[in-house]
Amino acid sequence: MVDLQAQRQRLGARLDAAVARVMDHGGFIMGPEVAEVEKKLAAHCGAKHVISCSSGTTALIMALMAHDVGRGDAVFVPSFTFTATAEAIVLAGATPIFVDVLPDTFNMDPASLAKAINVAQQTGLTPACVLAVDLFGQPADYDALDAIAKEHGLWILDDAAQSYGAMYKGRALGTCAAITATSFYPSKPLGCYGDGGAVFTDSEAIARKLIQVRVHGQGKDRNENVRVGLTARFDSMQAAILLEKLSIFDDENVARDRIAARYTAGLKDVVTTPGVAPGCTSVWAQYTIRSARRDRIAAHLQAQKISTAVFYPKPIHVQPPYRGYPVVTGGLPVTEKLAQDVLSLPMHPYLAPETQDIVIAAVRAALA
Ligand SMILES: *Cc1c(COP(=O)(O)O)cnc(C)c1O
């Protein structure tokens, strides 16, 4: 699905030198690379504050903790996402309320969010936060979500784990919500060589709390604890690797866009190809098609040793640990339909046209 070796070859000796520098200076925890990558990420997206951390999941938990979201609070979240999005809410002690998504962008449906807020009020929960996900690389509709959030005094947390680097109406993700969380898991569009993540905010007060949460709720020094926190630092070695990868990231996203357009041209008459909303760009964490004959396509490609994946065959609200939480009135029909018919194809910036042609031909042959 993702070829990390092609990128490794492109960066070559620069990566080896970056790792060697960290081993030589020995500042493995919060070394100079950590502050440097935070500064570069802030400049890259335009956020005032970037707090790196140990994973995308941790980034979400830190954001909820820094905003004091907990027991009795409702957090509105799509069910059509990676488990970590909802998991962070439960770990923070709050209650997820599952919201449906739009069939074309796979992102949170603002009309469903408005209905879900009523559900929270009826169940005696305090509506606290909208946790929007930018699924498969594309931003959610922040203007529409913001209008509803504002009306109810809610703040928006953006799970940009799959989509850092994408733009919403001229604004970079990292600046489109009160707090944005992302992941540097190796297969994400901007990945390191292990676990990592970051939190973005323009609020100085929230940034200060995030820094406290990252290291055991530490205050001005290690002898002062001002809140309950975590061990959630990004390590220097991963920061050094990420700095190198960040230097080619924008160029890679141009390639991703070209590759997505090529898939769309080759497949749009036989399957539903993914749409990008007006004013948005995608970093194509996944290239996800829809077809009633999804399983047939997957089997045909597997027989030709072409990888495919279904994200996500089982929505979160039907998984045992999450079954007991509220769902928006009327249920999640779009989410349940998508679980039946989505299929993600190989997608990375180094996918050669000849390889892509084989994938396109295989999908067409499966449906012929
Ligand atoms: C990957 C992912 C996460 C979690 O990131 P980790 O770094 O693996 O903890 C959260 N949300 C979404 C949508 C993801 O795709």
Domain limits for position 310: 249-366
Same structural domain for residues 10 and 67?
yes
185 C-alpha to ligand 1 centroid (Å): 8
Q: Can you tell me the mean pLDDT for 331-338?
A: 98
57 CA closest ligand 1 atom index: 9
Q: Does the beta carbon of 161 sit less than 6 angstroms from any atom of ligand 1?
A: yes
84 C-alpha to ligand 1 centroid (Å): 6
Q: What CATH number did the domain enclosing 272 receive?
A: 3.90.1150.10
Percent of the chain's residues with pLDDT above 90? 99
Same structural domain for residues 263 and 125?
no
Q: What CATH number did the domain enclosing 159 receive?
A: 3.40.640.10
196 C-alpha to ligand 1 centroid (Å): 10
Report pLDDT digits (tens) over 95-124.
Answer: 999 999 999 999 999 999 999 999 999 999
Q: Does the beta carbon of 107 sit less than 6 angstroms from any atom of ligand 1?
A: no
What whole-number distance in Å separates Cα of residue 300 and Cα of residue 281?
A: 31
Residue 176's alpha-carbon distances to 110, 149, 166, 280, in angstroms, are 16, 13, 11, 12
Same structural domain for residues 328 and 286?
yes
Same structural domain for residues 211 and 176?
yes
Number of domains in the chain: 2
366 C-alpha to ligand 1 centroid (Å): 32
195 CA closest ligand 1 atom index: 7
256 C-alpha to ligand 1 centroid (Å): 20
Q: Does the beta carbon of 106 sit less than 6 angstroms from any atom of ligand 1?
A: no
- Last residue of some domain: 220, 244, 268? 244
131 C-alpha to ligand 1 centroid (Å): 13
Same structural domain for residues 62 and 163?
yes
* Minimum CA distance residue for ligand 1 atom 6: 56
Backbone CA torsion sign across 30, 131, 207, 244: positive
Candidate of 81, 185, 347 to mutate for ligand 1, largest count of ligand atoms within 8 Å of Cβ: 185
60 C-alpha to ligand 1 centroid (Å): 9
* Minimum CA distance residue for ligand 1 atom 1: 161
Same structural domain for residues 52 and 125?
yes
* Per-residue pLDDT at 333: 98
Looking up tokens 């997505």 gives: 260
What rounded mean pLDDT belongs to the chain?
97
Same structural domain for residues 272 and 233?
no
- Last residue of some domain: 244, 260, 278? 244
Q: Does the beta carbon of 56 sit less than 6 angstroms from any atom of ligand 1?
A: yes
Report pLDDT digits (tens) over 123-162.
Answer: 999 999 999 999 999 999 999 999 999 999 999 999 999 9
Same structural domain for residues 210 and 261?
no
* Minimum CA distance residue for ligand 1 atom 2: 161
82 C-alpha to ligand 1 centroid (Å): 7
- Last residue of some domain: 201, 222, 244? 244
Query: Can you give the chain as a three-state secondary structure string?
Result: CCCHHHHHHHHCHHHHHHHHHHHHHCCCECCHHHHHHHHHHHHHHCCCEEEEECCHHHHHHHHHHHCCCCCCEEEEEECCCCCHHHHHHHHCCCEEEEECECCCCCCECHHHHHHHHHHHHHCCCEEEEEEEECHHHCCCCHHHHHHHHHHCCCEEEEECCCCCCCEECCEECCCCCCEEEEECCCCCCCCCCCCCEEEEECCHHHHHHHHHHHECCECCCCCCECCCCCECCCEHHHHHHHHHHHHHHHHHHHHHHHHHHHHHHHHCCCCECCCCCCCECCCCCCEEEECCCHHHHHHHHHHCCCCCECCCCCCHHHCHHHCCCCECCCCCHHHHHHHHHEEEECCCCCCCHHHHHHHHHHHHHHHC
Residue 256 confidence class, pLDDT cut points 50, 70, 90 = very high
Residue 68 confidence class, pLDDT cut points 50, 70, 90 = very high
Q: Does the beta carbon of 163 sit less than 6 angstroms from any atom of ligand 1?
A: no
351 C-alpha to ligand 1 centroid (Å): 23
Report pLDDT digits (tens) over 178-220.
Answer: 999 999 999 999 999 999 999 999 999 999 999 999 999 999 9
Same structural domain for residues 274 and 162?
no
Candidate of 79, 159, 199, 235 to mutate for ligand 1, largest count of ligand atoms within 8 Å of Cβ: 159
Same structural domain for residues 258 and 233?
no
* Per-residue pLDDT at 235: 97
* Per-residue pLDDT at 323: 96
* Minimum CA distance residue for ligand 1 atom 5: 56
Residue 305 confidence class, pLDDT cut points 50, 70, 90 = very high
